[in-house]
Amino acid sequence: MDTISPENPQLAAPSDPAAGTDVSAPQPASPKKKDSIGLWLRDLIVSAVVSVLIITFLYQPVRVEGTSMLPRLEDHDRLFINKFVYHFEAIHRGDVVVFHYPLDPSKSYIKRVIALPGDRIRIVDGQVWLNGRHLREPYVPARYRDDDSMAQLTVPPDCYFVMGDHRSISSDSRAFGPVERDLIYGKAVFIYWPAKDAGVVH
């Protein structure tokens, strides 16, 4: 670890005892020192501006309200969502996304993407079948599963079938249907508070 120690100017003993004690006036900061301070201030300002731009245009802090995404996301967890990522890449199965609630766009929901446009999905006694194959879901603990069923449907173009990880209490696409692409505005990426939950959202 680099350390910086403050300079300690020393008083030189006079060479001629008869001359008495000679205390020299403080010297002004050298141009080199002024340049260093200027560079430090510049870097500090640039860092602050970049941080504000990143948070404003790329990441947004949000608070989770509810328990439908247990065990990974708990009620009142704080996390960052990436608001820009889906301008450059596709939405994938397994992504935890934030979207405007289809029945009331003034509200926002957070759920996991289970099926993509064109996928055939059905649910049998709580087990998800996707395109004729059983979907393995390690993010849903046994105690959070339910035994509900849903007839097969094909996800419409530009829509996504989303579900909460706490299946027994989640209101999701089983209730309000697939979510249109235009309603999805962010991807959950990192929990920052509380510290015990901090980490990447998978």
For residues 79 and 201, give the distance between their C-alpha atoms in angstroms, rounded to a whole number. Answer: 9
pLDDT in tens, 152-171: 999 999 999 999 999 999 99
- Whether residue 21 lies inside any domain: the answer is no
Q: Which residues are catalytic?
A: 68, 111
pLDDT in tens, 124-147: 999 999 999 999 999 999 999 999
* Cβ contact 56:82 at 8 Å: no
- Whether residue 126 lies inside any domain: the answer is yes
- Whether residue 90 lies inside any domain: the answer is yes
- Whether residue 2 lies inside any domain: the answer is no
Domain count within the chain: 1
Which string of DSSP letters, residue by residue, matches 150-201?
EEEEEPPTTEEEEE-SSTTT--SHHHH-PEEGGGEEEEEEEEEESGGG-EE-
- Whether residue 17 lies inside any domain: the answer is no
> Is the pLDDT reported for residue 180 higher than 50?
yes
- The token pair at 165 is 């990880």
For residue 155, what are the domain limits?
A: 59-200
- Whether residue 184 lies inside any domain: the answer is yes
pLDDT in tens, 71-97: 999 999 999 999 989 989 999 999 999
Q: What is the CATH number of the domain that holds 162?
A: 2.10.109.10
Nearest to 188 by CA among 95, 101, 56: 95
- Whether residue 81 lies inside any domain: the answer is yes
Q: What is this structure's pTM?
A: 0.74
Neighbours of 14 (CB within 10 A): 12
* Cβ contact 11:26 at 8 Å: no
* Cβ contact 134:122 at 8 Å: no
**Between 70 and 14, residue with greater pLDDT:** 70
